[in-house]
């Protein structure tokens, strides 16, 4: 009986460790996806940014309102293409990333840029990315929109 109990304990421990390794692997992959996202963003490669999303991703953005809305890849490219016309040197400076489970990465960053009239933008933002099967499915951003 003791041997059976010992085997069960070892089996459960092994399964538990294997599950943690899978979560850890997913978290690492998701962190790399988010890192790549910000590299594409800072290079103003909007098509590569858009390709990181599923075909119709969910968004929250205080500049649009409080409700969840969807955007296609084409709409993502158009949105950022317009934004960079207002702030040609637009960049995101990542402060910290926080992993939460196997699908969620929270990123704290500051968006900076200069308008053609030399007015400066410095906007702290927190975005919650949901990533499934290597693609961003949700992009919920929070910042002071006053």
- Residue bearing the bigger pLDDT, 116 or 9: 116
DSSP 66: S
Q: What is the pTM (predicted TM-score) of this model?
A: 0.81
Domain boundaries, position 128? 2-142
Q: How many domains does the chain have?
A: 1
pLDDT tens column, 46-87: 999 999 999 999 999 999 999 999 999 999 999 999 999 999
- Residue bearing the bigger pLDDT, 40 or 8: 40
pLDDT tens column, 23-37: 566 668 999 999 999
Kindly list the distances between the CA atom of residue 20 and the CA atoms of 11, 31, 109, 132, in Å, as whole numbers in the listed order: 14, 16, 28, 18
Q: What is the mean pLDDT of residues 107-117?
A: 96
Q: Is 40 helix (H, G, I), strand (E, B) or coil?
A: helix
CATH of the domain at 27: 3.10.450.50
**Rg of the chain (C-alpha set):** 20
Task: Give dist(CA 81, CA 59) in Å, integer.
Answer: 17
Q: What is the mean pLDDT of residues 93-115?
A: 95
Cβ within 8 Å of residue 101, ≥6 positions away: 23, 27
């Amino acid at each position: 009986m003791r041997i059976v109990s010992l085997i069960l304990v070892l089996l459960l421990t092994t399964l538990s460790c294997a599950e943690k390794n899978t979560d850890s692997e997913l978290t690492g992959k998701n962190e790399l996806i988010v890192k790549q996202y910000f590299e594409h963003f800072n290079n103003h490669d909007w098509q590569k940014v858009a390709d990181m999303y599923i075909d119709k991703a969910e968004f929250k953005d205080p500049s649009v309102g409080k409700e969840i809305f969807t955007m296609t890849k084409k709409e993502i490219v158009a949105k950022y293409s317009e934004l960079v016309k207002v702030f040609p040197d637009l960049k995101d400076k990542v402060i910290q990333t926080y992993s939460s489970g196997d699908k969620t990465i929270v990123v704290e960053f500051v968006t900076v840029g200069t308008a053609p009239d030399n007015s400066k933008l410095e906007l702290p933002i927190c975005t919650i990315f949901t990533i499934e099967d290597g693609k961003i499915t949700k992009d919920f951003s929070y910042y002071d929109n006053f």
